[in-house]
Amino acid sequence: MVGLITRTQLKAALPRLVPTILDLYKKDQDIAFLATCSLHHLLNASLLSESGPPMIDFEDLTLILSTLLPVVSFNSDSNDQSDFSVGLKMYNEVQHCFLTVGLVYPEDLFLFLVNKCRLREEPLTFGALCVLKHLLPRLSEAWHSKIPVLVEAVKSLLEELNLGVQKALSELIVVMASHCYLVGSSGELFIEYLVRHCALTDQHWSDFESIPYKKTEMKIGAVTPAELRAVCEKGLLLVTITIPEMEHILWPFLLRMIVPRSYTGAVATVCRCISELWRHRSYGNDMLSECKNRPDMPIAEELLARLIVLLHNPLAREQLATQILTVLCLLAPLFPNNINLFWQDEIPKMKAYVSDTEDLKQDPQCQDIWDDMIINFLAESLDVIQDADWVMSLGNVFAKHYELYASDDEHAALLHRCLGILLQKVNDRAYVHDKIDLMYRQASIAIPTNRLGLAKGMGLVAASHLDTVLEKLKDILDNVGQTIFQRIMSLFSHSFRTEESDDIHAALALMYGYAAKYAPSSVIEARTNALVGTNVLSRLLHVRHPRAKQAVITAIDLLGNAVINAAESGAPFPLKRRDQLLDYILTLMGRDDSDGFADYNEHLRTQALAISACTTLVSVEPKLTVETRNHVMKATLGFFAIPNDPVHVVNPLIDNLITLLCAILLTSGEDGRSRAELLLVILRQIDQFVSSPVEYQRKRGCHAVHEMLLKFRLVCVSGYCGLGSQGSHVHNKLIDRTIYGNFSKLPSAFVLPSREALCLGDRIIMYLPRCADTNSEVRKISAQILDQLFSISLSLPRPAGLSMSSEAIELAYSALSSLEDVIVILRNDTSIDPSEVFKRIVSSLCILLIKDELVATLHGCSVAICDKIKQSAEGAIEAVVEFVTKRGNELTEIDIARTTQSLISATVYATDKHLRIETLGAICTLAESTSPKTVFDEVLATAGKDTVTKDISRLRGGWPMQDAFYAFSQHMVLSNLFLEHVISVLTQTPILKGDVDKVEDSQIDNNTEDGKLQAAIFALTAFFRGGGKVGKKAVEQNYASVLSELTLQLGSCHGLAKSGQHGPLRNLLAAFQAFCECVGDLEMGKILARDGEITENERWVNLIGDIAGCISIKRPKEVQNICLSLTKSLGRPQKYQREAAAAALSEFVRYSELGSLLEQMVEVLCRHVSDESSTVRRLCLRGLVQIPSIHILKYAAQLLGVILALLDDCDESVQLTAVSCLLMILESSPDDAVEPILLNLSLRLRNLQTSSNAKMRASSFAAFGALSNYGIRGLNEPFVEQVHAAVPRLVLHLHDEDVTVRLACRNTMKQVCPLIEIEGLVSLLNTHSFLSDHRSDYEDFLREIAKQFMQYLPSRIDTYMASTVQAFDAPWPIIQANAIYFCSSMLSLSDNQHILAVYHTKVFGMLVGQMSRSPDAVVRATCSAALGLLLKSSNSTWRAVHLDRLESTSRNHELES
């Protein structure tokens, strides 16, 4: 528009246009954007016109500019992506507006913006900084003389805490740098500002938010510390790379930014900037000479100490390690001359290691490897330097640098090690002693990483100064004695902290361990014997925290390894009290949840370390005793069963356990026989894991067995080849007992075990099912186990009296070769059919087994056939069939009988259905031919005993009775009979305690010891799940009876769950879910899965209602039969079953369209609204009001009578339901049904309006309002009286403390308004004061309505006053205050002498008393305001009297005080 009017018209319109446009900024963002565009055009036309001077002076522009500045943050404020583009456009338009003004008034605008920055108002400061950043390149010439002012203004903002302002300020500093405005000390100050924010972390922001006095009024945008850090990093790099003039500011100033602790997070960026400066350096090697000549720069030792420690994290952001290594290489000339060449060779290797971070992330050991590389790098650097003074100077710097790292920072742990390796190179004992004292003082031993770093550091020192370190540790340990005394005293005082003692003991243990690890082998024996012999370690066993236990275990492990290393170095010696140390480890490995440290993962790590330490101790001399060996095995074998997660913790533990078992086998026993016995002992204890149903347990067990057989073969068999060669060849299996002659003439080490000592029959039937396992790795390993067993057995002497022909021997070798061929196939071809492989294995075994071994295999077949893995069990059956088919002629009658017994046992106990089918078929035939009831009772009785005496969910192979239930459910004849029988059993279930209102104690079954109820529920579950088409048909035929009984049992089980017995509920829910799956009702199943186990009363009742609603929709034809069944159940003695029936019926009633059924249900529900259970009463009432709308008129009067009776119920929940139901029924009830009880309903609702339950008050007020629709006919006058009696309470609760009550009162007030017959009342109820929630508005309303009452209802004032005065004693302070103000308002307006005579003195006295005694501020304040109303009123005749009384009362209070 501005382009279409003349300059004169525009100038005349400006006073109107500008305010109008500025007002648009109060609208939403889109309108504000349009306003900004308009303002831009207006400023262009007004200021940049070629036809004349600017039309607006700068003073007049300040309002526009002040309005625009906060608009700059719109773009930052928006978190919505859709608003982002609008915000960005508006940001640009604002900048255009400022640029337009700047082109005309540059100096004025500059001063305006600088002044806004100095105001320290965040939105204005943020906006001014953004505008300065935008305009500085565009108005640089005009503002050149003002640069010092800008620099000072920016300096004043450097301590600003708002992140948005900091981000804008950082960007402005970069722009200033690009124009060479950063010079001298101010330039360094700004660079430091950027560095400080490059070091910003989220932790810094959380610390800032915790400052109590910081501003919290607003936030500029959604700037995070990460965003601010990114801006500063990019800005600093940009300044470094693109602005050559900044080089003299940045160098060597950036070196000062490396050492301070507060800039640790910025070191990567600083190092990168230094590298860029070096790459773009303009004055060559003079850079380092300048660094040396400046006294404020850090010395070389400080830089090396700082950068070496900061190398710690190879995965740090911004490639920190690479950047540091690059800078170290560049700064090498600062250090002693001989280091340069070494670093040029070593640093590229280290950079190569950390170059691929993705590879490092895959290596769990990368951090340890990297730390070792850092220590080795430092150690070799110190060796190259060979300057003792410089090394000690570096040690002093390391000591000072402890203050740079937090105690929980892993850098502090590396610092310990760096100082330790440095002290290893120092020969000055006093210096070393002083520094290890400092190391211990600076260590935070409560933090595991810091503690470990300290221990490793001490160990490194011990490599050269063992005695000095041990002397220090002894001093520490002696000082712990007081702490032990305090531990005893902690029994009487809770002030002692056990954790502190644990930390000290853990640190000491680790330091002793690493001192032993790094100590020279020549002196370790004496030191170790002294350490163990003096029971120093026993003083470290009182730790309770898992990390502390790990430390002590690690120390013992390190001690054992030191002994092993000494032996490998040619200085072997036995470890004294080794068994005692093993006992220490097992004690520490145990879990003690009472100590409060129960972290499962940490406990697993402790156990893994303990097992590894046991392996170490088992491997040292002397050999284990039998007692110690059994003790160790008993404590460790159970770890095969631990869950597989977390894998990264569990797998190392299992590997350690297998290694331990192999170590026990190798180091125990004196000869082959004893080792064979030990092998069997260990294998039999592992059998439970080999045959476990859990896949990872089977893998672990098989792997352990295979490893042990390999070790056994290596020790006991290899080397004894009859043909003179060594190793495990086929021909070395030709060994016979005769080769060795008399065993008594041979040393024990040369005595081989016999073949029968291996008990091959038992071993084969144990591992054979695994060859058919579902897991390919298990199949592979188990085949290798069988191969190892027979390879060993054929290498051993045969049993006495057994002769084998050469053909038999050759056949055995052929079978073994065939078995080995199968193993080769399994290793190379994973696609081969497992069943074919298994057949070949069984064929080989059938030949390899001798007769006694075959008999033993068949005798143990029941365990194999009952294997938890179906394929394995089927494989065992296949193997037994193969053995019996091909070699059955070798079995004796006794062998056959015992084999038959094993097969029968397998039929009963095996989990597979095929094994039980014959037995179950016989049971079904018996039931069909004789008495089904008797058979069913016996099965249920047996099942009941199982449920009482066993945990049927954990029975191996499943529960046999469940298969019996499956068989019944699938039987064409028995399925219906069995289902009806189970339902009848549930119907006749004894009454359970807690599920009854009034029954004699003799009729209550407290325990249901026979378990028949649970057995019946399990039977139903099995029937639903395993019945197939036959069972489903039976369920469909008995749908109503089954559903009804399940619903009732759901009530009973919820009752049991409330008493703490949750098992029956879970079992019933499983049955219910199975029922849903059986009949195909997935929606009902979802309802049960969602809310089934919720035991709160209302929730499980609603659950049954949801189920009923679902059935009504899905199966409307079944509703009638279900309802007929449930109506009979309302008379049962079990309370929870009645509640369940009522819950279902209350939902079914809305779908009962049949007149006869509905009439019967209404009759039953009405009869049971007097039930002793409040839940039944409530549900029956709720069901009655849900009668279909087409029938509701017929039963309206009857329902209203029920509601009227229940409004007086003793239970509040029933009353609340009655009120809610009344609201519902009044919507459709005819007048003739309501009028007879209208007054009774009104009276009862008025009584409920004073309830402490807010929902009750709101509902009763709302119901009273609904009754007003019926009070306009015959009972008009009596009902109007009820209305007037309720009006004061309505008025007072218009400002109730509960919002729902307020809304209900407002609606009710509008509904009863026509009955009050006041002309102006309707308009008053539409005013703001009536609708507002503010107290001042409410008090205005009270005064207005008081005027209406005085004018139109003077005869009612006496009644209103009486009711209002009674409310002075209301339990709610807000209602008391409302009553006080309403009463005073009426008194102040009344000129009725009767009213004044009756109430003035009384009310005035109550106001004075309440004002002085009430503890509630709102009451006291309202009393004061009410007294003001009374004193200002026109009733001067009594004012003086009351003033005198008030003065007298005040005087009396003063005298009393």
Q: Is 1294 helix (H, G, I), strand (E, B) or coil?
A: coil
Q: Answer yes or no: are the C-beta atoms of 639 and 660 closer than 8 Å.
A: no
Q: Could you check whether the bond before residue 252 is cis, i.e. omega within 30 degrees of 0?
A: yes
Burial class (CB in 10 A: 0-12, 13-18, 19+), 4: exposed
CA 144, CA 147: separation in Å to the nearest integer? Answer: 6
Separation of alpha carbons 1104 and 1143, rounded Å: 6
- As a residue count, the chain comes to 1457
Check residue 1414 and give left, alpha or beta (phi > 0: left; psi -120 to 50: alpha).
beta
Question: 204-223 b/e with 16+ CB inside 10 Å = b?
Answer: bbeeeeeeeeeeeeeebbeb
Q: Which residues of 934-963 are buried (b: 16+ CB within 10 A; e: fewer)?
A: ebbeebbeebbbbbeeeebeeeebbbbbbb
Q: Name, in order, each residue with C-beta under 8 angstroms of 912's C-beta and a sequence gap of 6 or more.
A: 865, 870, 873, 874, 957
SS3 string, 174-190, reads: HHHHHCCCCCHHHHHHH
For residue 646, say if its preceding peptide bond is cis, omega within 30 degrees of 0: yes
Nearest of 835, 689, 827 to residue 771 by alpha carbon: 835
Q: Please give the Cα distance from 1059 to 1072 (Å, whole number).
A: 21
Q: For residue 992, what are the β-bridge partners?
A: 1005
The owner of tokens 């070091």 is 199
Tally of CB atoms within 10 A around 401 = 22
How far apart CA 644 and CA 647 sit, in angstroms, is 6
The reported pLDDT for the residue numbered 1154 is 58
Supply the DSSP symbol for 440. Answer: H
Burial of residue 708, with CB atoms counted within 10 A of its CB: 0-12 exposed, 13-18 middle, 19 or more buried: buried
User: Rounded distance, CA 1309 to CA 1305, Å?
Assistant: 6
Closest CA to 411 of 319, 305, 515: 305
pLDDT of residue 911: 65
Contact between 794 and 812 (Cβ < 8 Å): yes
Cα distance between residue 840 and residue 821, in whole Å: 10
Whether the bond into 19 is cis, omega within 30 of 0: no
Q: Long-range contacts made by residues 718-721, C-beta under 8 angstroms, separation at least 24? A: 720/752, 720/795
Angle of the 776-794 helix axis to the 806-828 helix axis, nearest 10: 150
Closest CA to 898 of 910, 884, 916: 884
- Give 919-961 as a 3 state SS string: HHHHHHHHHHHCCHHHHHHHHHHHHHHHHHHCCHHHCCCCCHH
CA 676 – CA 658 distance, rounded (Å): 17
Query: Do 1218 and 1206 contact (CB within 8 A), yes or no?
Result: yes
User: The pTM is what?
Assistant: 0.59
DSSP letter for each residue of 156-224: HTTT---HHHHHHHHHHHHHHHHTT---HHHHHHHHHHHHHHHT--HHHHHHHHT-TTS--S--STT--
Q: How far apart are CA 910 and CA 326, in angstroms?
A: 69
Q: Are 90 and 74 in contact (CB under 8 A)?
A: yes
Q: What amino acid occupies position 1120?
A: Q
Q: Which residue has the tokens 């446009």?
A: 21
Q: What does the H/E/C string look like for 652-697?
A: HHHHHHHHHHHHHHHHCCCCHHHHHHHHHHHHHHHHHHHCCCCHHH
- Going by C-alpha positions, the residue among 1183, 1189, 1173 that lies closest to residue 1203 is 1183
Best CA proximity match to 1142, nearest among 1118, 1115, 1111, 1171:
1171
DSSP assignment letter at 753: P
Find, among 743, 841, 867, 750, the residue nearest to 789 by Cα: 841
Query: What is the number of other CB atoms lying within 10 angstroms of the CB of residue 1371?
Result: 8
Q: How far, in Å, CA of 1301 to CA of 1124, rounded?
A: 41
User: Residue 1435 has what pLDDT?
Assistant: 57
Which of 161, 29, 40 minimizes the C-alpha distance to 86?
29
At 699 the pLDDT is: 93
d(CA 165, CA 73): 10
- DSSP letters, 897-921, are HHHHHHHHHHHHH-SSHHHHHHHHH
Taking the chain (1457 residues) in runs of 10, the rounded mean pLDDT of each run is 63 74 74 78 75 77 81 60 66 83 83 83 85 85 83 86 87 87 84 89 58 43 81 90 86 88 90 87 63 78 92 89 91 85 91 88 88 93 90 93 88 92 92 92 86 90 87 80 48 51 81 83 68 64 79 86 81 80 85 58 87 89 85 90 88 92 84 84 92 91 93 70 34 33 41 80 90 90 92 79 74 88 81 86 90 84 78 79 77 67 62 61 53 66 77 70 77 85 80 48 43 85 86 87 84 81 83 86 83 69 83 83 81 83 81 71 81 83 79 78 83 85 81 80 84 88 84 71 86 89 89 80 85 88 86 84 86 88 86 80 83 85 85 59 51 47
Query: Is there a contact between 604 and 653 (Cβ–Cβ < 8 Å)?
Result: yes
Q: 221 to each of 29, 31, 213, 228, how far by Cα in Å?
A: 15, 20, 21, 12
Q: How far apart are CA 618 and CA 766, in angstroms?
A: 29
Q: What is the pLDDT of residue 659?
A: 92
Bridge partners of 27? none
By CB atoms closer than 10 A (0-12, 13-18, 19+), residue 510 is buried
The reported pLDDT for the residue numbered 998 is 43
114-133 burial, b if ≥16 CB within 10 A, otherwise e?
Answer: bebbeeebbbbbbbbbbbbb
With H, G, I as helix, E, B as strand and everything else as coil, classify residue 1134.
strand
